[in-house]
Amino acid sequence: MVKELATDVLVVGAGPAGSMTAKWAAKNGARVLMIEKRQEIGSPVRCGEGMSKDWLKEVGITPGRWINVEVEGARIFSPSEKILEINEKSAGNEVGYVVERDGFDKALAIDAANAGAEVLLKTAATQVLKEGGRIVGVRAKQFGEPFEIRAAVTIGADGFESQVGRWAGLPTNLALRDMDSCLQYRMTNVDCDVRYCDFYLGKVAPGGYVWVFPKEKGLANVGIGVQLSKIQGMAEARKYLDDWIAKHPAYAKGRTIDVVGGGVSISKPVTQAAADGIMLVGDAARMIDPLTGGGIANGCIAGKICGEVAAEAVHLRTPTKEFFQKYEKGWRARLEEKLYRNWLAKEKLCSLSDETFDKIVDALQGVHLEKLTVHNILKAVHAKYPDVTREFEEFL
Amino acid sequence: MPGTPTAKKSRHIESSGQLCIYCGACVGVCPLNCIYLDETRITFDEKICTRCEICVKACPVGAIEIG
């Protein structure tokens, strides 16, 4: 006889989106079980560790010891390395923290547990349980021992390599152009500026960018994302990153103390994130911002909505696709327009030549913009290079 | 047996343990969901794999080879 557990809400994956969902489902009165395949929440880290901060209050996260530095702004480096600075005043929310991601994930899991959620580590889902087309839990393994977990609502919060959504038949497959391959070194003995998160665009990283996120003076995450449709051979992410570092003495003198890799989706929002008995949240639902590659904020924002809807479905005994439209409407109202807009902007940026990119950033040198909007940027560019703005008519 | 019609299917796919950083990029991008990551072990279901090589491209460190 196979061991069997039962719960109201089962959350697969204890990343930020999973913990947020677990916390808000538990806070709203549901019995919650969150399972995590790793032995330690948050580790190993697969993240650049930069995040905005204006959304934290909305989802009930209090800044804690997981903050490494609070940056003043972001700097965008054009291919010839002219700089466009984006600060709090000009962009409102584009700046934030560089964080200790494993500490952040642990803090959120602690919040979820304190709200009443059970947590099982070393527990991997191996298949979903289906009954009459509805998902009713998962088959799982803890320390290699198989068992079943039955749940009224199953949440797939299992990240970029999500299995749960695929097993359930939800459309989360990615095309080559919808994904960046990423690699990052944590480097010490580098000359990073702790006031800024830096982004290098253009041919240095086809379809992506090189980032330098400062952890403290002399220590930074130096990473790259490259779009799969724009690369040819093997290990291109590593080649591009190593090339970039070799050409930048401030970093070439550094020593790597950690290597992090991973995939990031840069797709349009998915058409469906819920079905009978199941909802997907976070990277598993392709909620990553396709322009920045950031997934934490969106995962947490959607997680809160997902947890609330899951608890309500348990109370009303309505864990159906129809009822979960409440979740679909909720997360889409909050995130979908920006996801789509940023996907369009990303597509445009990826199509620019290095020359055009340089012209745009050059046109903005010394120009004071009250607010850094696409419209204001294009107006400034138009004044100096009217030929360039012709490419952007759809944005005006 | 390169060149024979069955050669493609018989090609072996594997991840080099020396290069692999177990990041899961290949798992997420596999269109047939036939790659499994278990802590520090990557396995490919060779019966399902069509050798489309998307994972080979996705791997940031070049650990996947189809021989």
Per-residue pLDDT averaged across B8-34, rounded?
Answer: 83
Let me know if domain A177-265 sits in CATH 2.60.40.1190.
no
Of B29, B33, B60, nearest to A235 by CB-CB distance is B60
pLDDT value at position A94?
55
H-type alpha helices, chain B: 7-10, 25-29, 54-58
Residues 6+ apart with CB under 8 A from A12: A18, A35, A125, A138, A154, A155, A156, A157, A158, A164
CA-closest candidate to residue A94, choices A74, A66, A69: A74
Which distant-in-sequence residues (6+ apart) come within 8 Å of A110 by Cβ?
none
Max CA pair span of chain A: 75
Q: What residues does CATH 3.50.50.60 cover in chain A?
A: 3-65+100-174+269-337
Specify the pLDDT at position A373: 73
Q: For residue range A288-322, what is the model confidence (pLDDT) as tens digits?
A: 999 999 999 999 999 999 999 999 999 999 999 99
Domains of chain B, by residue range, sit at: 7-66
Is the pLDDT score of A1 beyond 70? Answer: no
What's the pLDDT score for residue B7? 38
pLDDT of residue B4: 41
- Give CATH 3.30.9.10 domain extents, chain A: 177-265
> How much is the pLDDT for A380?
84
* Other C-beta atoms lying within 10 Å of the C-beta of residue A343: 18
CA A37 vs. chain centroid, Å, equals 20
Contact between B28 and A237 using a beta-carbon 8 Å cutoff? no
Is B25 in contact with A181 (Cβ distance < 8 A)? yes
Burial of A199 (0-12, 13-18, 19+ CB in 10 A): buried
User: Percent of chain A having pLDDT more than 70?
Assistant: 97
Q: Is A234 in the B-facing interface, judged by CB distances under 8 Å? A: yes
Geometric angle at alpha carbon A131, from A128 and A132, rounded to 5°: 130
Q: How confident is the model at residue A59 (pLDDT cuts 50, 70, 90)?
A: very high
Report the gap between the CA of B31 and the closest CA in chain A (Å).
6
- Please tell me the predicted confidence (pLDDT) of residue B1: 38
Q: Which residues of B touch A142 (CB under 8 A)?
A: none
Closest CA to A128 of A117, A137, A116: A137
Q: How large is the average pLDDT for residues A146-153?
A: 97
A 22-41 residues with CB < 8 A to B: 37-38
pLDDT (average), residues A181-202: 96
Residue A309 region by backbone torsions, left for phi larger than 0, else alpha for psi between -120 and 50, else beta:
alpha
Place of tokens 């929310």: A93
Q: What is the DSSP string of A62-129?
A: PP-TTEEEE-SEEEEEPTT--EEEEEHHHHSSS-EEEE-HHHHHHHHHHHHHHTT-EEESSEEEEEEE
Structure tokens at A240: 């591009």
pLDDT of residue A160: 92
The helix/strand/coil state of B2 is coil
- Chain A contact for B17 (CB, 8 A cutoff): no
| List of chain A residues whose C-beta atoms are within 8 Å of the C-beta of residue B62 | 234-235, 238
Contact assessment for residue A34 and residue A276, using Cβ atoms and an 8 Å cutoff: no
Task: Label the pairing between strands A179-188 and A145-156.
Answer: unpaired
Residue A94 · residue A371 · CB < 8 Å: no
For B25, the closest of A232, A238, A261 (CB atoms) is A261
The interface predicted TM-score (ipTM) is 0.85
pLDDT (tens digit per residue) in B3-19 = 444 434 557 777 887 89
% chain A with pLDDT above 90 = 81
Q: What is the mean pLDDT of residues A5-29?
A: 98
- Confidence class of residue A201 from pLDDT cuts 50, 70 and 90? very high
CA distance A393 to A378: 9
pLDDT digits (tens, 9 = 90+) for A243-297: 999 999 999 999 999 999 999 999 999 999 999 999 999 999 999 999 999 999 9
Residue A140 has pLDDT above 80, yes or no: yes
Where residue A395 falls among pLDDT bands split at 50, 70, 90?
low
Class of domain B7-66: alpha beta
Q: What is the mean pLDDT of residues A187-198?
A: 97
A3-65+100-174+269-337 fold: FAD/NAD(P)-binding domain (3.50.50)
State whether residue B37 sits within 8 Å of chain A by CB.
yes
Span A105-120, average pLDDT: 98
Q: A367 CB near a chain B CB, below 8 Å?
A: no
**Hey, are the CB atoms on B61 and A159 less than 8 Å from each other?**
no
Distance of CA A110 to the CA centre of its chain: 21
Mean pLDDT within A359-383 = 80
Locate the chain A residue with the closest alpha carbon to B65.
A234
Residue A70 in contact with partner chain B when CB distance is under 8 A: no
Q: Summarize the confidence of residues A330-341 as an average pLDDT.
A: 95
Say how many CB pairs under 8 Å bridge A and B: 79
